[in-house]
Amino acid sequence: PFSLQNQNYKCHGSSKGKEREQRASIRFKTTLMNTLTDVLRNRPGWVEVKDEGEWDFYWCDVSWLRENFDHTYMDDHVRINHFRNHYELTRKNYMVKNLKRFRRQLEREAGKLEAAKCDFFPKTFEMPCEYHLFVEEFRKHPGITWIMKPVARSQGKGIFLFRRLKDIMDWRKGTAGKKFASLEAQPARAPTATVNPSGTHDTRSSDDQKDELPVENYVAQRYIENPYLIGGRKFDLRVYVLVMSYLPLRAWLYRDGFARFSNTRFTLTSIDDQYVHLTNVAVQKTSPDYHPKKGCKWMLQRFRQYLASKHSPQAVEALFSEIDNIFIKSLQSVQKVIISDKHCFELYGYDILIDQDLKPWLLEVNASPSLTASSQEDYELKTCLLEDTLHVVDMEARLTGKEKRVGGFDLMWNDGPVSREEGAPDLPGMGNFVTNTHLGMQGRWEVGVPGGAGGIQHSTV
Amino acid sequence: MLQEESDLSLIIAQIVQKLKGSSLYAQLERQAWASLQRPEIRLESLKEDIKEFFKISGWEKKLQNAVYSELNVYPLPSHPAAPPEHLKEPLVYMRKAQGSWEKRILKSLNSMCTELSIPLARKRPVGQQKELLNKWNEMGTDEPDLSLFRPVYAPKDFLEVLINLRNPNYENGDSLSFRTHLGLIQVPLKVKDIPELKECFVELGLNTGQLGIDDSTQVPPELFENEHVRIGQKVLAEQDSAAAQQYIRQGSPTALRAELWALILNISSQPEDILYYEQLKTNVIQHDLLVDSLIYKDVKLTASNDDYYFVFEDYLYQVLLCFSRDTSVLGHFAYNSASPPKSYIRGKLGLEEYAVFYPPNGVIPFHGFSMYVAPLCFLYHEPYKLYQTFREMYVRFFFRLHSISSHPSGIVSLCLLFETLLQTYLPQLFYHLREIGAQPLRISFKWMVRAFSGYLATDQLLLLWDRILGYNSLEILAVLAAAVFAFRAVNLMEVTSLAAAEFLLIFLL
């Protein structure tokens, strides 16, 4: 893979000793059947193992992780695609707690201005435990819309909007609560949590919970009523961030991603129509208006171009800068609580919403972003994304550790900010420091990128 | 000398005549009257003082822009004895061909009408009017049954007509020589060769900076981009159409494009323009036309399925439906070889007092028509701005892509230019493609008819349309088409069928 090198630069790889030996073949395991399997099978020197075979690389799902990670021995070189307690970042209620705590810490250490940089998450309250705090806030802003989301479900399930307390009274009394508690196939019960002094959350395994009534946690969040609209439609952005370690924090940002559009025109008059408000493709697919040929995604480059034709270059630059800030702050807020096992890496799917003032908001972080392709363009994006992820994970021990860019990934944070300039020392605070991120700018298909193959050369056509 | 002078005065007279009817004239008059209040205007030197005032206040610039616009759009007056048809199209055989093509289109439209028993036009009942008004911003959610409607024609039908065009006065003999044109177009029109093109498009030379190439991330912006952007801002500040047109030949910075195009096309959104658009909207609400269904069908088939443009579906309806009601568009038929179709009130066929133009703007949409509008949605999102820009682009450029004429920017000339370039500079490729039954024009025709919309990524398309505006000519479409073939020449030499050639070129674009 092509890479931008900087000689004065601290390494990003955790490469030491015998891990860095070249291996004859790399045994991989996965349970998914989608783009990922294609990528893994096509990778030279990678061999699939099934069932009980020994593996060097496992792309697992989170339920396997929860049940087996703690009693699986892994050699030094082995890699797995999740951190043990990723839910600190990906479960909405934990993320909020961690972010709030981090914000308080920032305020103490660096002042109000710095802490305000964490205000990218709409006001959120855990239910039912923070119900009273929520009601206080609710009464301060009568008439605004709130959104209720289950903490652990994905694909838009179980979400509803409301404006009156009456709408959630029933829920609280238990009628609706019971309805939502009858869970569809969650692999295990939504774990109940106990908070440790360090701030981490323990989850009990499914065995312990067999005899308990499943309680599903929700969060009530302030709904963003003035989203940025394109063609009268609401959309959100899906961006990919690859974290190679938390201690120290090393994160890569993928240049491509997409904007997901709601199929119907945005209006606040019908908050019951969940199809309007939820831009998740999974939800859109069930909408009666949905036509698979239509496709409701735009690649980020297109989105960035669109913005550039409507707003000044400074405004667009500022927006993307704030988006970078979301990634960094959110990762920093869980840095100390996530168990930073050297075997682990994780590819997160961040969902970002832009409002009409061009302010980005974090909706949520996904530890298992969908790898199923919804169109040819999507297939190419995800194929390249996964290939580049494997390049960065570097089972083949080819990277020098000094790279700032690998394929479509830019090194965004390496125990500190990373500068875009080649050769310049990474000193923020210098007048012309520009972060090494290129979201929505030219992808791997740039002229002069040997090995950074374009979609055509990976001809799956 | 005398001839030139009288030509010039004729031109001036014509332009003055045109502008007298425009709102600019009324505004200038008002400004002149208002300026009498000003202290610097004195009775003794009234004329000079007012002129000076106009210069300082920017009104002279506006007038200049309007004159420049007229010069760009309207052909120069020809011999005083020439009948108006000659302004539309000087060559008889072209006029005849256009006439019979129009007859065919109308026949097709009428038969669809009779088959489906749908009137060409009807007044909407009040209930439906209300409904449509409510849904105006989201007409895309409507799913009317369009299965019985067919597009009136598709570009390939039009191509067949062009292939059969012949000049009855021209005899080139049976014997093949090196002069024989091997392509599909067999009419002897004059097209530019490469030296002439180089002269014409001098700003596209290799030594001149271009946006889209010299602003890529590898090139330091100090070399070209920064200066070019600065000049662009200056041009906008001066509000000078002619300067903008010259400037945009090297491409427009994304952030400035919307304003630059408006300046070049001399569009300023006055209250009366907004009102006019609202009036058109009312017409749409009140009357339902058969062409509306054709427009719906076209949008659903093309733009809605496009990865880039599906988002703008609603805007397309808002523009195209209003466009078909806009009678001011009829003005462009003075210099378009086409003529608006006439329809007669039921039972009064042939009686001129009962004739109306159908649709009101005289333009019958064909398959892919909505793609002319779609890229503009990237620049404007107020419907009336979008509308004005599209209308102006249509009456200046796009109409030439689907009418038969001898104009150098007309589709016939473009096809001939494309084929000639290919045959002259890539003869081996041309011959090979011809041998395998893959005449190059069959592939590139649809690109040119749509001005590459839907075939090029939007950012590149807009850079291309920058040059169309800058040079006030569509010839660049033919040159680009030939360049695409040249770029893929090596691969194309290996294909063995038309389908394979098409396939290869999809991936390029």
* Most distant CA pair in chain A, distance: 65
Please tell me the distance from the alpha carbon of residue B380 to that of residue A144, in angstroms, as a whole number: 31
Q: What is the pLDDT of residue A269?
A: 63
Cis geometry, peptide bond prior to residue B271 (ω within 30 degrees of 0):
no
Q: How many CA atoms lie within 13 A of A371 on its CB side?
A: 24
Please tell me the distance from the alpha carbon of residue A369 to that of residue A347, in angstroms, as a whole number: 8
Position A196 pLDDT exceeds 70 = no
| Cross-chain Cβ contact B378/A308 below 8 Å | no
| Cross-chain Cβ contact A298/B311 below 8 Å | yes
Q: Is the dihedral of CA B391, B394, B396, B399 positive or negative?
A: negative
Which tokens go with A233? Answer: 């439609």
Interface of B with A (CB under 8 A): 137-138, 141, 216-218, 254-255, 257-258, 304-305, 307-308, 310-315, 377-379, 381, 458-459, 507
Q: What is the pLDDT of residue A444?
A: 44
Which tokens go with A105? Answer: 């810490």
Position B33 pLDDT exceeds 90 = no
Q: Is A48 in the B-facing interface, judged by CB distances under 8 Å?
A: no
CB A235 within 8 A of CB A224: no
What mean pLDDT is predicted for residues B430-438? 93
End-to-end CA distance of chain B: 51
| Chain A neighbors of B314, CB-CB under 8 A | 231-232, 265
What is this structure's pTM?
0.80
Please tell me the distance from the alpha carbon of residue A278 to that of residue A261, in angstroms, as a whole number: 9
Please tell me the distance from the alpha carbon of residue B454 to that of residue B94, in angstroms, as a whole number: 29
Please tell me the distance from the alpha carbon of residue A110 to that of residue A259, in angstroms, as a whole number: 34
Residue ranges in A363-441 assigned as alpha helix (H): 376-393
Position A52 pLDDT exceeds 90 = no
pLDDT band at B484 (very low <50, low <70, confident <90, very high): very high
Angle of CA points B94, B100, B103, to nearest 5° = 140
| Cross-chain Cβ contact A231/B459 below 8 Å | no
Q: What is the pLDDT of residue B412?
A: 96
Query: 3-state secondary structure string, B21-78?
Result: CCHHHHHHHHHHHHHCCCCCCCCCCHHHHHHHHHHHHCHHHHHHHHHHHHHHHCCCCC
Position A422 pLDDT exceeds 80 = no
Please tell me the distance from the alpha carbon of residue B283 to that of residue A44, in angstroms, as a whole number: 64
Run of H or E residues at B418: helix B411-425
Q: Which residues contact residue B72 at a Cβ distance below 8 angstroms, ignoring those fewer than 6 apart?
A: B245, B396, B472
pLDDT band at A180 (very low <50, low <70, confident <90, very high): very low
> In angstroms, what is the C-alpha Rg of chain A?
22
Q: What is the pLDDT of residue B147?
A: 79
Residue in B closest to A441 by C-alpha? B217
Which tokens go with B374? Answer: 């779609």
Q: Coil, strand, or helix at residue B171?
A: coil
What mean pLDDT is predicted for residues B490-496? 92
Which tokens go with A369? Answer: 């972003």
Highest mean predicted confidence (pLDDT) among A274-278, A347-351, B74-78:
A347-351
| Antiparallel, parallel or unpaired: β A46-48 and A26-30 | parallel
A156 Cα to chain B: minimum distance (Å): 22
Q: Is A296 in the B-facing interface, judged by CB distances under 8 Å?
A: yes
Run of H or E residues at A244: strand A233-245
Q: A151: which DSSP letter?
A: S
Disruptive mutation site among A284, A290, A309, A441 for chain B (greatest number of B CBs within 10 Å): A309
- Which one, of A372, A406, A37, lies nearest residue A253 by Cα? A406
Q: Which residue has the higher pLDDT, A460 or B189?
A: B189
| Chain A neighbors of B141, CB-CB under 8 A | 264-265, 289
CB B121 within 8 A of CB B358: yes
Run of H or E residues at B466: helix B458-471
Whole-number percent of chain B with pLDDT over 90:
45
Query: Of the given ranges (A131-145, A195-209, B298-312), which has the lowest mean pLDDT?
Result: A195-209
Question: How far is residue A357 from each of residues A34, A224, A238, B255, measured CA to CA in Å?
Answer: 38, 12, 19, 18
Please tell me the distance from the alpha carbon of residue B94 to that of residue B199, in angstroms, as a whole number: 29
Run of H or E residues at B343: strand B342-344
Helix then strand then coil, % of chain A, to nearest 5: 30, 20, 50
Please tell me the distance from the alpha carbon of residue B301 to that of residue B289, in angstroms, as a whole number: 19
Please tell me the distance from the alpha carbon of residue A88 to that of residue A83, in angstroms, as a whole number: 10
Q: Please name the residues between 212 and 251 in chain A that touch chain B, using a CB distance below 8 Å.
A: 230-233
pLDDT band at A185 (very low <50, low <70, confident <90, very high): very low
| Cross-chain Cβ contact A294/B307 below 8 Å | no
pLDDT band at A445 (very low <50, low <70, confident <90, very high): very low
| Chain B neighbors of A298, CB-CB under 8 A | 307-308, 311
Whole-number percent of chain A with pLDDT over 70:
70
Q: Which residues contact residue A109 at a Cβ distance below 8 angstroms, ignoring those fewer than 6 apart?
A: none
Please tell me the distance from the alpha carbon of residue B454 to that of residue B303, in angstroms, as a whole number: 8
Please tell me the distance from the alpha carbon of residue A272 to that of residue A269, in angstroms, as a whole number: 9
Position A102 pLDDT exceeds 90 = yes
Angle of CA points B21, B26, B27, to nearest 5° = 135
Position B182 pLDDT exceeds 70 = yes
| Cross-chain Cβ contact B311/A233 below 8 Å | yes
Q: How many CA atoms lie within 13 A of B2 on its CB side?
A: 0
Q: What is the pLDDT of residue A201?
A: 55
Highest mean predicted confidence (pLDDT) among A266-280, A328-342, B201-215:
A328-342
Q: What is the pLDDT of residue B490?
A: 93
Q: Which residue has the higher pLDDT, A188 or B184?
A: B184
Burial B116-135 (b: 16+ CB within 10 A, else e): eebebbeeeeeeebeebeee
| Cross-chain Cβ contact B378/A231 below 8 Å | no
B441 Cα to chain A: minimum distance (Å): 25
Run of H or E residues at B448: helix B440-449
How many other C-beta atoms can be found within 10 angstroms of the C-beta atom of residue B352?
A: 8
pLDDT in tens, B317-332: 999 999 999 999 998 9
CB A77 within 8 A of CB A23: yes
Across the interface, of B138, B305, B312, the residue whose CB is closest to A265 is B138
Q: What is the pLDDT of residue A192?
A: 42
CB A28 within 8 A of CB A58: yes
Please tell me the distance from the alpha carbon of residue B216 to that of residue B199, in angstroms, as a whole number: 26
Which tokens go with B42? Answer: 């004195």
Whole-number percent of chain A with pLDDT over 90:
30
Disruptive mutation site among A266, A303, A306 for chain B (greatest number of B CBs within 10 Å): A306
pLDDT in tens, A209-248: 333 334 567 888 888 889 999 988 889 999 999 999 999 9
Position A193 pLDDT exceeds 50 = no
What mean pLDDT is predicted for residues A344-364? 94
Burial A125-146 (b: 16+ CB within 10 A, else e): bbbbebeeebeebbeeeeeeeb
Q: What is the pLDDT of residue B323?
A: 96
| Cross-chain Cβ contact B314/A265 below 8 Å | yes
Run of H or E residues at B271: helix B271-286
Q: What is the pLDDT of residue B42?
A: 82
User: What is the ipTM for the molecules in this complex?
Assistant: 0.75
pLDDT in tens, B254-271: 999 999 999 999 998 888
Across chain B, mean pLDDT equals 88
Angle of CA points B209, B214, B218, to nearest 5° = 150
Q: What is the pLDDT of residue B358?
A: 84
Please tell me the distance from the alpha carbon of residue A317 to that of residue A219, in angstroms, as a whole number: 32
Question: How far is residue A456 from each of residues A266, A380, A443, B420, B508, measured CA to CA in Å?
Answer: 36, 9, 14, 31, 10
Q: What is the pLDDT of residue A171?
A: 62
Query: Of the given ranges (A153-162, B9-18, B176-185), which has the lowest mean pLDDT?
Result: A153-162
Q: Is the dihedral of CA A241, B218, A391, A418 positive or negative?
A: negative
Whole-number percent of chain B with pLDDT over 70:
94
pLDDT in tens, B147-170: 778 888 889 899 999 999 988 888
Query: Of the given ranges (A88-102, A209-223, A224-238, B51-65), which has the lowest mean pLDDT?
Result: A209-223
Query: Of the given ranges (A177-186, A364-373, B227-236, B265-274), which has the lowest mean pLDDT?
Result: A177-186
Please tell me the distance from the alpha carbon of residue B393 to that of residue B472, in angstroms, as a whole number: 11
Which tokens go with A444? Answer: 């791997």
Q: Which residues contact residue A32 at a Cβ distance below 8 angstroms, ignoring those fewer than 6 apart?
A: A59, A61, A371
Highest mean predicted confidence (pLDDT) among A148-152, B129-133, B354-358:
B129-133
Position B509 pLDDT exceeds 80 = no
pLDDT band at A397 (very low <50, low <70, confident <90, very high): confident
Position B229 pLDDT exceeds 80 = yes
Across the interface, of B141, B257, B314, the residue whose CB is closest to A289 is B141
What mean pLDDT is predicted for residues A414-425? 75
Residue in A closest to B383 by C-alpha? A231
Position B244 pLDDT exceeds 90 = yes
List phi, psi (to 5°) of B356. Answer: -130, 160
Q: Coil, strand, or helix at residue A10?
A: coil
Please tell me the distance from the alpha carbon of residue B247 to that of residue B466, in angstroms, as a whole number: 10
What angle separates helix B59-73 from helix B2-20, to the nearest 10 degrees?
Answer: 110
pLDDT band at B485 (very low <50, low <70, confident <90, very high): very high
Q: What is the pLDDT of residue B127?
A: 87
Position A194 pLDDT exceeds 80 = no
Please tell me the distance from the alpha carbon of residue B326 to that of residue B328, in angstroms, as a whole number: 5
pLDDT band at B8 (very low <50, low <70, confident <90, very high): confident
Run of H or E residues at A252: strand A250-265
